[in-house]
Amino acid sequence: MARNYLQGCFEAFKEVTEKVFGTASDLAAIETSVAPLRDGVALNYEDLKKFESPSHWEFKTWWVFPPEQHVTPELRRRKFNFRDLPQEERNVVASLLDVFKSIELVSIILRFIRPELYGIISPPVERILDVRRESDAVQTYLNYLDNLRKVAKHYHFRRVADADMALWVLHERCFGGAPNEATRKAYDEDRFIRSLRAENLMKRFLDDCTYAQLAHSLFRTDPVLAGQLGGIEFEQMVRRYVPAGTNWDDVDFKDVINELYRRGTIDTATQVKWHRARITRNQAIHMNPLPDSSEVKKLLDLLDLSGREPAHQKH
């Protein structure tokens, strides 16, 4: 199987950590030290020193476990079933969060005990994937894991932790302390990750908004795209005036407006406004010439913001 650029990032993990931190990270050594925990050995406070492991990585630069007097009583009254994960995954994550009060610490524990299933949630990888954050830290981490698992599958990583390490290196090569133009170009052209990012950034927005609402929301950011989306809603709005029981789907949009005027469905002022909006819609779609933003605003003002169904449900 051909080696892809993310596999190359994974293979460069030790090299890049040495460049960024001054010492190469050895995460495999930590995995080995905590391996008994995956087989049912109870987690205790002494085990946390194995996760910190200053000789193997930069844990204390970024994180600190809560004091023993806070953690030990909680660990004594709980039993974590790491062996059967991902069964009861949400409950295990939530229970660990109750103990350690930090989703980052929870992710570290899970990543080293079950590296085939888990990764460490971190701002660099969240940035690379534009992970969808929630008000609930557990759900945010589950969103993060969903993304990592998709990446691991698509790019043929044996473990989720390996995909996570690759994405961390990708961030350092694109935005951090180990720049690499070839890797940045590959990331920019990566259709899979781009689609994952688009879903993370836009899905909730698309679920909640009509084309009219989307168009209004995008107007300040991108008037042409706002005009394209508004143009879709505008034509649908006009065609809703077509008499019931008739089929004008093959009738040119200009002729639809004129026929509605001829039948007395709309008045002269509306006909004039609609034709002006139709021209703006055509310019937004054909982009030759580009529509004037003031004309796009007039088109959008014709739309019903109360809406019908969200935009994605119209497909």
Q: What is the pLDDT of residues 169-210, one digit of tens each?
A: 999 999 998 999 999 999 999 999 999 999 999 988 888 888
- Total domains, the chain: 2
Name every residue whose Cβ is closer than 8 Å to that of residue 104 and which is 6 or more positions away in sequence: 62, 63, 120, 121, 122
Instruction: State the helix-helix crossing angle for 103-113 and 27-34, rounded to 10 degrees.
Output: 80
* Shared-domain flag, residues 58 and 165: yes
C-alpha closest to that of 145 among 186, 194, 92, 187:
92
* Shared-domain flag, residues 263 and 280: yes
* Shared-domain flag, residues 98 and 55: yes
Q: Which two tokens stand for residue 55?
A: 């000789």
Q: Which domain holds residue 232?
A: 209-314
* Shared-domain flag, residues 18 and 128: yes
Query: In the prediction, which pLDDT does 304 show?
Result: 85
* Shared-domain flag, residues 80 and 131: yes
Is 80 exceeded by the pLDDT of residue 309? no
Q: Residue 244's Cα: distance from chain center in Å? A: 42
* Tens of pLDDT, residues 117-172: 999 999 999 999 999 999 999 999 999 999 999 999 999 999 999 999 999 999 99
* Shared-domain flag, residues 156 and 13: yes
Q: Which of 173, 205, 237 is the last residue of a domain?
A: 205
* Shared-domain flag, residues 179 and 301: no
* Shared-domain flag, residues 196 and 265: no
pTM of the predicted model, to two decimals? 0.85
Q: What distance in Å separates the CA atoms of residue 135 and residue 78, rounded to the nearest whole number?
A: 25
* Residue 157, CA atoms < 13 Å, CB-side half-sphere: 28
Backbone region of residue 2 per phi and psi (left: phi > 0; alpha: psi in -120 to 50; beta: other values):
beta
What is the CA angle 225-276-273, rounded to 5? 115
- For residue 244, count CB atoms less than 10 angstroms from its CB and return exposed for 0-12, middle for 13-18, buried for 19 or more: exposed
* Shared-domain flag, residues 43 and 23: yes
Q: Which of 205, 230, 254 is the last residue of a domain?
A: 205
* Shared-domain flag, residues 28 and 62: yes
Name every residue whose Cβ is closer than 8 Å to that of residue 158 and which is 6 or more positions away in sequence: 116
* Shared-domain flag, residues 93 and 151: yes
State whether the Cα torsion 191-192-197-203 is positive or negative. Answer: positive
* Shared-domain flag, residues 127 and 226: no
Q: What distance in Å separates the CA atoms of residue 311 and residue 96, rounded to the nearest whole number?
A: 39
